[in-house]
Structure 1
Amino acid sequence: MMKAIKALALLALAAAGGAPAVADMVQAPAAARRIAIVADAVRPRDARVPAEAKRSAYLLVYFKDETHSLYFATSRDGYSFTDVNGGQPIALGRDLADQKGIRDPYIMRGPDGAFYMAMTDLHIFAQREGLRATEWERPGDQYSWGNNRNMIFMKSWDLVHWTHAKVAISAEFPAFADAGCAWAPEVIWDAAKKAPMVYFTTRHGAGPNFMVYSHADPAFRRLTATPRQLLHHPDPKVNVLDADITRVGGKYRMFYVAHEKPGNIRQAVSTTLTSGYVPQPAKVDPETKAAEAPNLWHRHGTKTWVLMYDVFGITPNNMGFAETSDFKTFRNIGRFNEAGSRMKATNFERPKHGAVMAITPDEATKLEGWFGQKE
């Protein structure tokens, strides 16, 4: 009983913006196994980025169509992932989003030591589930499939306590007053600007999708400038979406989706973060079925990079994986729990549009402990 009272007191403190360090927290009671939304993200005195050599574990963020909610899974080897909350959401879409559902979560750690998370405010089954009377938030003939207004921005120092903001480019920037969507936001640190750069998919009305970027304020609650186009496809009528940018050596490697034949995932490379990306025509993923949502991550202690993607063209959907060391050849290593694949999802299934980030084993253990997965 005392532990439960102490846990509830700590949660109340977190809600007031006075989040304790994870090391000082007791395990949350079963009924409260969700991340805590706080008013402010106060930087701890000892905030730092662990050395790369120590970041040998992994955190996967993902969502599910069945719940339109947020999930975390951890891994010590980059092959076997275990959901930290026993396969249950760590945050409910209905609590985060105007549309009562979230999609496309992405997470990264900045050089300040903070964690930045962004996702789409969208529920594609809201009418079926009685959450709205219409198929989409706005008329489909004017704003097309899956139209939405908001992106969700969140910031944390400990992966448990997060600030929360809704960002609508149509309301903030006159040039995008007719924005038909704001999908799949991702974040990368812009060293030149000393700020988080947010890039995402949008469109004007029901026009073709394209990718834009802007920068966020230090609190990670708003964008500070009108978004600008990031990638220019040779055919402006082609839908381009789901960008994922990673700095590898002196180059920025963007993986993205182009709705052309063949479809699936392509690559563009630049020496500059915010410009100079040239679309390459070759499909890079090894899938024979439709895939989207590419995410690149490094396999610790090796020269190997893993390209992860959402294989939505199969039933049931699954995550697929390919490895590369030269970014020219991508070796298929299978899908989660597929026969012959080393990639395992131990206590969850049907993850969608996720992202993987390197963390330390100690950070993984603390996160698992909060959700009761480690005693």
Structure 2
Amino acid sequence: MNIIRKSLITAILASGLAFNATASSAAPDEKDYVAYLFTYFTGNHIKQEAVCYGISLDGYNYYALNDNKPVLDSKVISSTGGVRDPHILRGADGKTFYMVLTDMVSGNGWDSNRAMVLLKSNDLINWKSSVVNMQKRYDNQEKLKRVWAPQTIYDDKAGKYLVYWSMKYGDGPDVIYYAYANDDFTDFEGEPKPFFLPADKKSCIDGDIVYKDGVYHLFYKTEGHGNGIKVATTDNLTSGKWTEQPDYKQQTTDAVEGAGTFKLIGEDKYILMYDVYTNGRYDFTETTDLTNFKKVERPVTMDFHPRHGTVIPITKAELDAVTARWGMPEALKKK
């Protein structure tokens, strides 16, 4: 097994050398990706509510960078001193990165937060951050109770970055809202608008959108009823017209949250991962059509325990940069 893994690592790292020189000047093609970057936080304590990085060379076996310690200081970037639910996106230009976070310390209560954090980077290491407090930014927000799990997608029709997240007002359901970010990714243009609420009008949180073959697939958690992951689809992000699939997508009877979906490099296969938060594990399932899922048959390993994170593919140059900054994990050095 060690020989096989060593050969795999050697082959993957070597494959990046040919395009390393141009990786920073042009958007990478899928063939340019050689590894995966996992952004996550680790728990419900202020010291654990921070952004961490992990890397994988095959999409299944992950190793923490920086000894599983934060790569960003929550006290610097947030208004509460803690952040959760990191979502990272490679921009449309291929070389700018966007991250959004829940600005929250869970110890203050699940209805305590009113803000999110917007970040932008050109190198995955140095980030410019801004806090958007919904209650201070907009009028008539007295009944706002929480702002949870923002994510970002590029809306090609609008030519803008669309941020979507869930909010709860008073005794109402958690509803997913959206707003377009400004050019600097420091604030929103206009007021948030409702994005998605299931036909049954019950709470939904943890939205995660995957675009495939002209269709947007929205994965979401049915908060407080079922506590699982469902999917709704549309061909127009802001039309408000969604087709809901009736079945739950998780392959477990345990409660789950924090859906994160990513495509495997060089394969017509997607991984849907989720946080099995009731018993401390993280499950991976796979699909080719984003409709039918099965548990991953091969072993999935992590030398850290993530909470609600996301995975993106990265190039050889980007892998070199993050490991130069935070060190190559010892487990990979030995293989």
**2:42 corresponds to which letter in structure 1?**
K
SS at match of 1:366: helix
Instruction: Report the counterpart of residue 184 of structure 1 in structure 2.
Output: 149
SS at match of 1:95: helix
Work out whether 1:242 is the aligned partner of 2:206. yes
Give the 5 Å matches for 1:14-33. none
**1:115 corresponds to which letter in structure 2?**
F
**1:277 corresponds to which letter in structure 2?**
W
Instruction: Report the counterpart of residue 326 of structure 1 in structure 2.
Output: 289
SS at match of 1:226: strand
Give the 5 Å matches for 1:46-61. 47-61=25-39
Q: 1:196 aligns with which of 138, 146, 161?
A: 161
Work out whether 1:111 is the aligned partner of 2:99. no
CA distance in structure 1 between the partners assigned to 2:223 and 2:197 by the alignment: 14
SS at match of 1:367: helix
Deviation for aligned residue 1:101: 0.9
Work out whether 1:304 is the aligned partner of 2:285. no
SS at match of 1:163: strand
TM-score, normalising length: structure 1: 0.77
Asked whether the equivalents of residues 47 and 157 of structure 1 are also in contact (C-alpha less than 8 Å), the reply is no
Instruction: Report the counterpart of residue 237 of structure 2 in structure 1.
Output: 273
Instruction: Report the counterpart of residue 78 of structure 2 in structure 1.
Output: 97
CA distance in structure 2 between the partners assigned to 1:90 and 1:157 by the alignment: 15
Give the 5 Å matches for 1:330-369. 330-333=293-296, 341-346=298-303, 348=304, 350-369=305-324
TM-score, normalising length: structure 2: 0.86
Asked whether the equivalents of residues 104 and 354 of structure 1 are also in contact (C-alpha less than 8 Å), the reply is yes
CA distance in structure 2 between the partners assigned to 1:184 and 1:47 by the alignment: 32
| Count of equivalent residues | 304
Asked whether the equivalents of residues 30 and 266 of structure 2 are also in contact (C-alpha less than 8 Å), the reply is no
CA distance in structure 2 between the partners assigned to 1:76 and 1:229 by the alignment: 38
CA distance in structure 2 between the partners assigned to 1:177 and 1:277 by the alignment: 29
Deviation for aligned residue 1:260: 5.8
- Structure number having the greater strand percentage: 2
CA-to-aligned-CA distance 1:21-68 (integer Å, 9 cap, x gap) = xx9xxxxxxxxxxxxxxxxxxxxxx55321122123111000011411
Deviation for aligned residue 1:161: 0.9
Specify whether residues 193 and 47 from structure 1 end up closer, same or farther in structure 2 by C-alpha distance, changes over 3 A only.
farther
CA distance in structure 2 between the partners assigned to 1:325 and 1:281 by the alignment: 19
Work out whether 1:289 is the aligned partner of 2:276. no
Say what the alpha-carbon RMSD is for the aligned residues: 2.0
**1:68 corresponds to which letter in structure 2?**
E
CA distance in structure 1 between the partners assigned to 2:217 and 2:77 by the alignment: 31
Asked whether the equivalents of residues 151 and 208 of structure 2 are also in contact (C-alpha less than 8 Å), the reply is yes
Gapped regions of structure 2 (runs ≥ 5) = 1-19
CA distance in structure 2 between the partners assigned to 1:273 and 1:177 by the alignment: 28
Work out whether 1:75 is the aligned partner of 2:56. yes
Asked whether the equivalents of residues 41 and 309 of structure 2 are also in contact (C-alpha less than 8 Å), the reply is yes
**1:247 corresponds to which letter in structure 2?**
Y
Gapped regions of structure 1 (runs ≥ 5) = 1-22, 24-45, 126-134, 137-144, 335-340
CA distance in structure 2 between the partners assigned to 1:188 and 1:82 by the alignment: 27
Q: 2:41 aligns with which of 53, 57, 63?
A: 63
CA distance in structure 2 between the partners assigned to 1:194 and 1:108 by the alignment: 15
CA distance in structure 2 between the partners assigned to 1:227 and 1:256 by the alignment: 19
Q: 1:120 aligns with which of 99, 102, 119?
A: 102
Percent identity over paired residues: 29
SS at match of 1:328: coil
CA distance in structure 1 between the partners assigned to 2:188 and 2:50 by the alignment: 24
Deviation for aligned residue 1:177: 4.7
Instruction: Report the counterpart of residue 262 of structure 1 in structure 2.
Output: 226
SS at match of 2:67: coil
Deviation for aligned residue 1:168: 1.3
CA distance in structure 1 between the partners assigned to 2:242 and 2:296 by the alignment: 28
CA distance in structure 2 between the partners assigned to 1:147 and 1:173 by the alignment: 17
CA distance in structure 1 between the partners assigned to 2:316 and 2:111 by the alignment: 38
**1:325 corresponds to which letter in structure 2?**
T
